[in-house]
Amino acid sequence: MSDTVIGYLLAIAALLLFTTAILSTKVASSRIELGLGFLIATATNVLFSALIFGVQLVVRERGVDWNWSAFWLFALAGGFSTYLGRWFFYESVVRFGAAKASVFQISSPLFTALMAWLLLGERLTLLVVLGMVMTIGGLVLVSYKPGAFSRQSVPAVPQDVAATIARPSLHQRLMQSFLLLGLGSSLAYAVGNILRGVAVRSWNEPVLGALAGALCGLVLHLAFSSGKRGMLANWHTMSRSGAWLYALVGVTTIAAQMCMIASMRYIPLSIATLVTLCSPLLIFPINHWFFRNEDDVTAFTLAGGALTLLGIAIIVLR
C-alpha cells in the first residue's frame, strides 16, 4: 500500500470520526449546557489520548525519541485549534447562526493551503487547486439554507430613546463583527493544522502530539472560559446520559485528530484538512433519514453533494 493511499485512508477515518462527534454533540447539547459539555469533552480528549499513548508505549519495542520543538508545536496547535478556533467558531454560531459560521469553517483548507505554500513551500497542481475549489463550493451549497443569509429586520428606535443608548465599546463592536469571528475561526484552525503538519513530519508521534494539544486546550479552557463556577455548580445535577454522550464526543474528536495528524505525514496538509471537513456531505443525509424533524434535502444539497464528490474525485484521481 502506497504512502498516499495510507494518507487518504487516515483522512477518511478522521472524517468519519468527526462526523460521529458532530452528531453526538447535536444529541448531547439538548441534555447538558454547551460549556459544561465541552469541558467534559476536552477532559476526555486528554484522558483518552493518554490511555492510547500508554498502550502504545507498552506494545511497541522502542521508547520515545523526544523532540521538544515538535512537542511544543503540537501543544501550540492545540491552543489554536482546540481552544481558540473552537471559541471563535461557537461565538460566530451563537451570534450569526450555523449557516454563516460554516462558510468560514469550510474555507479553512484554503488558508491552510496558502500558509503551506508560503511557509513550507508545499506546491499543489492547478488540477488539485481546481478540485479543492469545487469541493469547498460544493460544501457551501450543501450547508446552505434558504434565507439563512438574509438581513433580519430591525425595529426602528425613536430618536429620544436612541440618544440614551450607550455606544458599544470597541470590544463589543469587534464581537459583533461576522467577518472578524468567521476569519478568526478559520485562521486559527489553519494555523493549528500547519503547526501539526510541521511537527508530525519531523517527529512521527501523532498520538503524543494529540495529547499535547488536548492538554494545552484543556488548560486554556479552564483558565479563560467564563462561567466556570456555574458549570461546577451544575456538575452534580447534570444529565448522566448527556455526560456520557459528551465523553463520546471527546473520544471521537481526539481519535479523529490522531488520524488527521498521521495523515499529514503522507499527503499535503491542505488536502488532509479538506477531506476531514467534508462532514456536511454525510451529516445532511443522515439528518434527513434519521432525524425526520430536520431540514429536507434540497436541490442545493444535491448539487453541492455532486460538486463535492466531483472535486474529491479530481484530487484523488489526478
DSSP string, 172-221: HHHHT-HHHHHHHHHHHHHHHHHHHHHHHHHS--HHHHHHHHHHHHHHHH
The whole-number pLDDT of residue 156 equals 44
The length of the chain in residues reads: 318
Domain boundaries, the chain: 3-145+180-316
Q: In Å, how far from its chain's centre is CA 211?
A: 17
What pLDDT, on the 0 to 100 scale, is given for residue 19? 85
The CA distance from 229 to 222, in Å, is 11
CA dist., res. 61 & res. 117, Å (int): 37
* Mean pLDDT in order along the chain per 10 residues (318 residues): 89 91 79 79 93 91 87 93 77 60 68 81 80 78 58 44 45 52 80 92 93 91 70 67 89 94 90 82 71 60 75 70
The CA dihedral of 55, 210, 259, 308, to the nearest 10 degrees, is 160
Quick one: pLDDT at residue 25?
78
**Tell me, what's the pLDDT at 241?**
84
Give the per-residue pLDDT at 247: 92
What's the predicted TM-score (pTM) here? Answer: 0.78
Return the pLDDT at 17: 93
Confidence (pLDDT) at 1: 76
In sequence order, which residues have a C-beta less than 8 Å from that of residue 318 and are 6 or more positions away? 125, 127, 128, 131
Q: Can you give the pLDDT at residue 92?
A: 67
Indicate the DSSP class of residue 148: T
